[in-house]
Chains A and B, each alone.
Chain A
Amino acid sequence: MEAMHAPVYFERYDVHGDMKSMPPEVMDSIRKNKVCLKGGLKTPVGGGVSSLNVQLRKELDLYASLVHCFNLKGLPTRHENVDIVVIRENTEGEYSGLEHEVVPGVVESLKVMTKFCSERIAKYAFEYAYLNNRKVVTAVHKANIMKLADGLFLESCREVASKYPGIKYNEIIVDNCCMQLVSKPEQFDVMVTPNLYGNLVANTAAGIAGGTGVMPGGNVGADHAVFEQGASAGNVGNEKILEQKKANPVALFLSSAMMLRHLQFPSFADRLETSVKRVIAEGKYMTKDLGGVSTTQEVTDAVIANLK
């Protein structure tokens, strides 16, 4: 950002994944600035600490999670022509965090679906498709088994779909969807899904299009937006990558380009994206997850050098 002289300045806050909750000054800062850029927060496995990522999304009501997965020129993958935007409901569904042990050895976990949330994520998806000239919106569900819950989700999608006659709408059962994703991903355009399926579909789509190291994404609410690496596959890298400083910065670069566009600085966003794409297409500076050996700094320098 500094190299580009982009009209943004950052207010840094240190937060660790194992904190009990987000510090209030961080939340206040996000509410004031309305935009946040996040590296990654690790959620501990097992009982005890609740996920800070989930807490952040709930408090700020960031109801839509966007992951844009697409093939990059210069990055060969097994699947071609992938350009999928996964729009995932971010606040309810299976990740409500409402669990309890009924009797020892029996646990119930609640999946909550509401018309309100399903409707607004459907509206977001169609509005996104409309503004970005997308042709097809696909709703992903398992309403043959979870008839009421996913049935409600589908109903909301259908209602919103009827208001956008110019956009094609179809539905797909989630297991068929996974199968189609790995065999014919080019058929998908914008996908709207409830929370859990969205998580899995986004990670699968990111995997086929080049890996989680390059896909941008963000969490959007009515008032705030938090941008971060699109699909993190639930981890924040391992020790080795950290030590050798070989983490892939591309995903966060592209996410910050999304952020610039959100802040209405489209020319800066374009310059950043063009530069990143050029570096990938050239193929000289790529981190290990893409098949190269560069360090984070080398890739960053290359992107800076390519900025015009």
Chain B
Amino acid sequence: MARKSFPILKQLIQQCTNRSFTSTASPRAVTLIPGDGVGPLVTDAVEQVMKAMKAPVYFDRYEVRGDMKCMPEEVMDSIKKNKVCLKGGLMTPVGGGVSSLNVQMRKELDLYASIVHCFTLPGLPTRHNDVDIVVIRENTEGEYAGLEHEVVPGVVESLKVITKYCSERIAKFAFEYADVNKRKKVTAVHKANIMKLADGLFLESCREVAAKYPEIQYEEIIVDNCCMQLVSKPEQFDVMVTPNLYGNLIANTTAGLAGGTGVMPGGNVGTDQAVFEQGASAGNVGNEKILKLKKANPVALLLSSAMMLRHLEFPSFADRLETAVRRVIAEGKFRTKDVGGDSTTQEVVDAIIAAVD
């Protein structure tokens, strides 16, 4: 799984030819936000594993809860300073009132790309085989612009905003990612037959960028057909680039196909900062029962922290972590409930620590 990580790609390409990282890697600070629900449980798992691996990272912990009015200043400053953050999960309350902190964070740090890597893991039986899809989703505009108002009582308008600027940069990101990671195909997901101007603009931008990458195959697919194809023939998809809302649904559907949201890694990337968290959270942070019994699945966050290590340019640590996690899953002895086992979070963590060499 020698997959290079994504952001600050210029830097990556420069460093491509010089892979001899010195062992005196100075420890990097990473902002850590445990969050709500099972968040603290899984971030604790990551901290344990990092310590056991003697990874050159140390965490600046901050307590943030989903029902706060906005992200505390010091947390945002910390992320801006450290440039990298690991997040457990922040619960967004349903209904009027508090705006989503997740969305606020992404907007303020301009984390314009959300990446979810969904793949089938050996040892984890799923109904679909050969799934290896990376969903790259525009993270700042589209349907989640958060611009709503009540025109008259009983009539609400919600604005979906699509700009050339954002569509272009997410398309560039997707193709650059595909190029750097040796992916063969990029598929743009849209509903331009109905939303002609909005998704039409998105498609235009994708096509323009596609023209600059002739070796990468480019396709377009209407979103409802895409959903249908995902559940019948997921092996046809490689990298998918989508606007905000479709990306959310597709990422979750794909995560479900490939083994569940408990195991898929992901991150939110911007030009300067990156926040890593469980790939697809399906909008929840676990229920009470999982929290009480401490049976949350730490695999997704562990794989995301491996992505983070690669981003921080510690590829050997990233490889060791990923190998250990895969070995534990392939063995199948220590698995949490969502993937068919019975272990607690701690048991899985211990198994992974034992498997790290």
Contacts and interface: CB of A to CB of B under 8 A. Distances in A.
B240 to A, nearest CB: 14
Given A114-B154, A175-B249, A182-B256, A47 B196 contact: yes
A94 B256 CA distance: 25
Contact of A178 (B100, B148, B161, B253): B253
B227 to A, nearest CB: 4
Given A48-B196, A95-B194, A105 B163 contact: yes
A138 B90 CA distance: 25
B154 A107 contact: no
Q: Is the interface of A mostly helix, strand, loop or mixed?
A: mixed
Contacts of B187: none
B158 A206 contact: no
Interface stretch (A5-13, A24-32, A229-237, A294-302): A229-237
A148 B253 contact: no
Interface string A147-174: 1110110100000000000000000011
A109 B252 contact: no
B215 interface: no
B315 to A, nearest CB: 31
Q: Size class of A's contact patch?
A: 35 or more
B139 interface: no
A212 interface: yes
B284 interface: yes
Nearest to B99: A147
Contacts of B191: 196, 234
Contacts of B150: 148
A202 B248 CA distance: 17
Contacts of B261: 179
Given A109-B159, A149-B158, A204-B230, A179 B148 contact: no
Interface string A101-127: 100111111111111100000000000
20 contacts: A45-B192, A78-B231, A105-B164, A106-B163, A107-B198, A108-B159, A109-B159, A109-B198, A110-B160, A113-B156, A144-B92, A145-B92, A145-B146, A146-B148, A147-B96, A149-B158, A152-B156, A179-B253, A196-B245, A233-B228
Interface of B: 92-97, 99-100, 103, 127-128, 143-144, 146, 148-150, 153-165, 191-198, 200-201, 203, 222-225, 227-232, 245-246, 248-253, 255-257, 260-261, 280, 282-284
